[in-house]
Chain A
Amino acid sequence: MLRFTIRRLIELVLVFFGVTFAIYAAVFALPGDPISSLGGDQPLSPAVVERIRDLYHLNDPLWSQYLRYLGHLLTGDLGVDFRGRSVAERLAARWPVTIRLALTAWVIQVVIGVGLGLVAGLRKNTWIDRGVLILTILIASVPIFVMAVTAQLVFGVKLSLLPIAGVSDGWPVSYLLPATVLAIYGLAAVARLTRGSVIDTMSSDFVRALWAKGLSRRRVIGVHVLRNSSIPVLTYLAIDLGALLGGAVVTEGIFNLPGVGQLLFESIRVHEGPTVVGIATALILIFLITSVIVDLLNSLLDPRIRHD
């Protein structure tokens, strides 16, 4: 177990360096000068552009820029953007929004997805089972922006039930609509996985033995079936949470939620190298850490899975 953990951590460090460099180089390679378009419509005078380029060392070669960035990064300094704003501060202001959105969406997915899957699995091949299948696939096949804009028009403009943009009404009101829209797209997968897993477990020998022992239905399903069929679902859900935390660019954009995904999108648009790498680094760390946790969790839940 210890060796496994250490190996995973070393991998993590390697991936970290590789990916930060790749992203840094990618932003660097984008055509066009981010500084001369800082002024939007209005051109900046060439002298101003030159000064700002000097200020951010944009005239240095790529490797030297990257090493300087890395040096700062290792001391915990994410640097500043081309407007002189601290990247760490901007990120810090946006994490709460993304985390709230991700967790809300995730909880909706867990409750509704697992619930639907469980019902479908226990009543396999009935009209309920088929209904769940058709319903989840049907919603998941609508493009997310169509779903989002429709939700805004129905719940915001027509019914005036929920705010459709921004976070000024706080959690949960401001997050309900975007989180639900976001959650819908994971529902089908969670429900299908749960269903399949439940059906497998129900037909396994140990469950038959439990029935034979005369255990109550509640106990068999509530404790034994649920626990044993949760492994694949749990893996999926953990990875899904990582993905949700990566910021939902489209959803955050349409609902005007100032989250990490939105910042990433804007930063790429204006070639804000330091901000892009800062966000990407954080996201990679989240992803790597969740996958390590999933591996560890799996081996705890199922003693048959051992890594060393």
Chain B
Amino acid sequence: MKRAAAALLAGTLAGSIVLAGCSGGGSGGSADGGTKSVSYAVSDPVTLNPGRQTIAFAQIKELFSSLTFIKSDGSLTYLNAESVKSTDAVHWTIKLRPNWTFHNGEKVTAESYVKAWDTVAYGPNAWENSGQLVNIAGYDALNPAKGKPTTTKLSGLKVVDDLTFTVTLKSADGQFPTQLSQAQSGFFPMPEAAYKDLEGFAKKPIGNGPFEMVDAYTENEPMTVKRYDAYQGPKPTVDEIVFKPYTDMTTAYTDVQAGSTDILFVPASRMAQVKKDFGDRAYVFQGLGMNYLGLPLWDKRYQDIRVRQAISMAIDRQAVSNVIYGGIWEPATALTPPGEPGTPVGLCGDLCKFNPTKAKQLLAEAGGFTGKMEIRYPGGSGLDDLYNAYANQLRQNLGIKDVTATPTTDFPEFQKLRNDKNLSGPYFSRWGALYASQQNTLRSFYTKAGGCVNCIPYYTPQIEQLIAKADAEVDPQKAIQGYVDVQKAILKDFPAPPMFFEKYAYATSDRIAKLAEGAGSLELENTTLADS
């Protein structure tokens, strides 16, 4: 009995090794029939409903087309819209391009947008991306503080004809067209068919984008999208994209090394080695992420501006980046990332340059630092090396003996501590912008309504007014000047040291000849394959 079982097992083992030998190597390979297929490592998307997704950006971007589109150089173009125009930054007219259809053949009309926005904004639906529409007139009526809203429609939206609709905003916002770009999926259109079965739509969305779903998405299984033939936008270079879910991106990293998956967004823990492991198959793209070291402005010890400046000058950003991120992250020299047009790179000047002598001197002038400096950051997010490095630098270069870096158990705990102002030392403070405008980063960090839950709570009426003034400019150049003025005003107070402009690293298998850079991401659909 036992022997039989052993023989059986030995047989299976031997058999499967032979099998594995056959399939090993190129499982992500495209068929020789000519379908250009690439696979991309992703985390589980949870939902593909654009009004609700919060981590499915890569998938949604291929399935849907936004009204406007930001290119890798930060310039704004039109995609599904023919024009988005306003003279006062409050009243906007959006004209759609004709002949666009959803994947089920339905026409993309003004109504496809208006009804979708009504649905996303409708309070009782509690859709996660509802906040993106907050500045449209009538949003508050759909989200009363108590009880059910009395209407289901945004009063600020009017359908003019099949391809035209108007939008009235609550306050002037010249960046509105930029907000309608590819990552702000709360502004995406939905076909009539979606409302009949929203659950089904979340698993097999019918979009207006360059790719359509092959089958409904199943949790933890690869998801394939294929090119939509009737697509009216720019033709993608690949025919098919396979999104492969991983829970641990370091596993995905190894899997790309093994050649089973083609493309991956390199996790922070592998950045130091990616150039060595992948050589010219490693790519570094401009990111829209901005890293600060938040400071507890509610704590007396941090209220002297010289203390805050000393902390900034005591950290050798380049050295930290070299050791932890392989030099990929760029030391910050402004308050917004350079991917946002008009960012005044270098504005921070000496305050963002490593200068331990000056730092010590500033700290001494401010009367030194008493007690323990306890740095906190969310645990389980791969941030340990970075914050320990900060702690070491502050200990060595400021001469503060007791500097510790302690993770919280997880992100929710960190948020709670931060929101309750229950932190007594420097802390994690980061924002990844969804659209390339200084407005997005400045709003999140420096306005109350921006609501970045983990950011610096530095809100002053003066800054809010300056931001509102820049927002009101319709002319892009004037707006940029306005945001630069905001940055200058903030730097006078120096509430928290800007640390890094995030760069995004990607790695590919040898099947890929070239990746196309996008705005704060990559253009997966325009990947060049090696064998084509």
Considering the chains assembled together, what is the distance between the CA atoms of A169 and B28 in angstroms?
A: 12
| Minimum distance in angstroms from A159 CB to a CB of chain B | 8
Tell me whether B123 and A47 are in contact (CB under 8 A): yes
Q: Is B54 an interface residue (CB 8 A)?
A: yes
Question: For A253, what are the chain B residues with a Cβ–Cβ distance below 8 Å?
Answer: 247-248, 251
Answer whether residue B364 sits at the interface, using C-beta atoms and an 8 A cutoff: no
| A36 cross-chain contacts in B, Cβ below 8 A | 412, 415, 453
CB-CB nearest 10 A-B residue pairs: A32-B412, A258-B220, A45-B131, A51-B126, A32-B416, A43-B451, A32-B413, A31-B413, A160-B24, A172-B16
CA distance A266 to B220 in the complex (A): 13
Q: Judging by beta carbons under 8 Å apart, are A168 and B413 in contact?
A: no
- A44 interface residue, CB < 8 Å from B? yes
- Give chain A residues whose Cβ lies under 8 Å from the Cβ of B494: none
Q: Is the CB of B434 within 8 A of A42?
A: yes
- The answer on a CB contact under 8 Å between B415 and A165 is no
Known: A255-B251, A266-B247. A33 touches B27 (CB 8 A): no
> Quick one: which of B1-57 are within 8 Å of A by CB?
2, 5-6, 9, 12-13, 16-17, 19-21, 23-25, 27, 46-47, 54-55
CA separation between A152 and B245, bound complex, in Å?
18
| CA gap between A160 and B23 in the complex, in Å | 9
Chain A residue at minimum C-beta to C-beta distance from B140 = A47
Contact residues in A for B220 (Cβ distance below 8 Å) = 93-94, 258
Query: Which residue from B248, B258, B413, B434 sits with its C-beta under 8 Å from A156?
Result: B258
B414 touches A153 (CB 8 A): no
* One of A44, A48, A153, A258 near B247 (C-beta < 8 A): A258
In this complex, what residue of A is CB-closest to B379? A269
Residues of A within 8 A of B259 (CB): 160
B246 part of interface (Cβ distance < 8 Å): yes
Cβ contact within 8 Å between B6 and A115:
yes
- 29 contacting pairs across A/B (C-beta < 8 A): A30-B410, A37-B412, A41-B430, A41-B431, A43-B453, A48-B127, A93-B218, A93-B219, A93-B220, A107-B9, A108-B9, A111-B5, A111-B9, A149-B254, A157-B258, A160-B25, A162-B17, A163-B23, A163-B27, A163-B258, A169-B20, A169-B23, A173-B19, A173-B23, A176-B20, A256-B246, A258-B219, A270-B410, A271-B410
Q: Is the interface of A mostly helix, strand, loop or mixed?
A: loop
A111 to B9, CA, bound (A): 8
- Produce 1/0 per residue, B201-222, CB < 8 A to A: 0000000000000000011111
A161 and B27 alpha carbons, distance in the complex (Å): 12
Interface hub of A32, A51, A253 (most chain B Cβ within 10 A)? A32
Query: Is B411 positioned at the interface, with any CB of A under 8 Å from its CB?
Result: yes
B441 at the interface (CB under 8 A from A): no
Whether a CB of chain A sits under 8 angstroms from the CB of B332 is no
Find out whether the CB atom of A163 lies under 8 angstroms from the CB atom of B260.
Answer: yes
A173-B20 contact given A33-B416, A41-B432, A164-B258, CB 8 Å threshold: yes
Q: Give min CB distance, B3 to chain A, whole Å.
A: 9
Contact with B along A165-205 (1 / 0, CB 8 A): 11011001100100000000000000000000000000000
Instruction: With both chains docked as a complex, state the minimum distance between the C-beta of A251 and any C-beta of chain B, in angstroms.
Output: 11
- The smallest C-beta distance from B394 to any residue of chain A, in angstroms, reads 26
A231 CB, nearest partner CB in chain B, Å: 16
Smallest CB-CB separation from B23: which chain A residue?
A169
Please name all residues of chain A whose beta carbon is closer than 8 Å to the beta carbon of B54 when the two chains form the complex. Answer: 38-42
A42-B53 Cα distance, complex, nearest whole Å: 11
Q: Which residues of B contact A (CB under 8 A)?
A: 2, 5-6, 9, 12-13, 16-17, 19-21, 23-25, 27, 46-47, 54-55, 123-124, 126-128, 130-131, 134, 143, 145, 218-222, 244-248, 251-252, 254-255, 257-260, 380, 408-417, 430-432, 434, 451-453
A141 to B453, CA, bound (A): 43
Name the distance in Å between A43's Cβ and chain B's nearest Cβ.
4
Cβ-closest chain B residue relative to A110 = B5
- Say yes or no for A52: interface residue by CB 8 A criterion: yes
| Among candidates B17, B248, B254, B410, residue contacting A161 with C-beta atoms closer than 8 Å | B17
Q: Which of B46, B55, B145 neighbours the largest number of chain A CB atoms within 10 Å of its CB?
A: B46
**A79: Cβ under 8 A from any B Cβ:** no
In chain A, residues 222-254, which have Cβ atoms closer than 8 Å to a Cβ of chain B?
226, 253-254
The answer to whether A164 and B255 touch across the interface, beta carbons within 8 angstroms, is yes
Bound CA span A40–B454, Å? 11
B6, A47: Cβ atoms closer than 8 Å? no
B143–A47 contact, CB under 8 A? yes
A262: chain B residues within 8 A (beta carbon): 247
**A291 smallest CB distance to B (angstroms):** 24
Which residues of A have CB within 8 Å of B5?
107, 111
A162 with B20, Cβ < 8 A, contacts A38-B128, A48-B130, A157-B257 known:
yes
Contact A30 B128 (CB under 8 A): no
Q: A47 contacts which chain B residues (CB < 8 A)?
A: 123, 130, 143, 145
Q: A33-B415, A108-B9 are in contact. List 10 more A-B contacts (CB 8 A).
A: A30-B413, A33-B416, A37-B411, A43-B131, A83-B46, A111-B5, A161-B17, A166-B255, A258-B219, A271-B410
Which single residue of chain B is at the shortest CB-CB distance from A89?
A: B219
Question: What's the minimum C-beta distance from B22 to chain A, rounded to whole angstroms?
Answer: 10
User: Could you tell me if A90 and B20 are in contact, using CB atoms closer than 8 angstroms?
Assistant: no
Q: Whole-angstrom distance between the alpha carbons of A108 and B432 in the complex?
A: 47
A51 close to B123 (CB less than 8 A)? yes
Of the candidates A31, A42, A44, A169, the one whose C-beta lies within 8 Å of that of B409 is: A31
A254 partner, pick from B2, B248, B415, beta carbons under 8 A: B248
Q: Which of A48, A256, A269 contacts B410 (CB 8 A)?
A: A269
By a CB distance below 8 angstroms, the chain A residues around B451 are: 43, 45-46
Would A164 and B416 count as touching, CB distance under 8 A?
A: no
Closest to A47 in B: B143
Nearest A residue to B143, CB-CB? A47
Contacts of B409 in A (CB 8 A): 30-31
Whether a CB of chain B sits under 8 angstroms from the CB of A134 is no
CB distance from A95 to the nearest CB of B (A): 13
Q: In whole Å, how far is A188's beta carbon from the nearest beta carbon of chain B?
A: 20
Known: A160-B259, A253-B247. A32 touches B415 (CB 8 A): yes
Closest to A230 in B: B2
Of A44, A51, A115, A271, the residue contacting B131 (CB under 8 A) is A44
Say which residue of B2, B12, B252 sits within 8 Å of A165 (CB atoms): B252
Query: Are A55 and B412 in contact, CB atoms less than 8 angstroms apart?
Result: no
Q: Out of A168, A172, A271, name the residue touching B27 (CB < 8 Å).
A: A168
Contact, CB under 8 Å: A48 / B128: yes
Assembled-state Cα–Cα distance A40/B431 (Å): 11
Beyond A48-B130, A253-B247, whether A176 also contacts B123 by CB under 8 A is no
A44 CB contacts on chain B under 8 angstroms: 128, 130-131
Q: Which residues of B contact A111 (CB under 8 A)?
A: 5-6, 9
Q: Which of A33, A43, A149, A255 contacts B452 (CB 8 A)?
A: A43
A39 CA / B259 CA spacing, docked (Å): 32
A93–B217 alpha-carbon span in the complex (Å): 13
Tell me which residues across on chain B come within 8 A of A163, comparing CB atoms. 20, 23-24, 27, 258, 260
Residue on B nearest A44 in the bound complex, by CB: B128
In the assembled complex, the Cα of A265 lies from the Cα of B211 at a distance in Å of 33
Chain A residues near B244: list those with CB within 8 A: 166
Chain A residues with CB under 8 A of B380: 269
Name the B residues within 8 Å of A271 (CB-CB). Answer: 410, 412
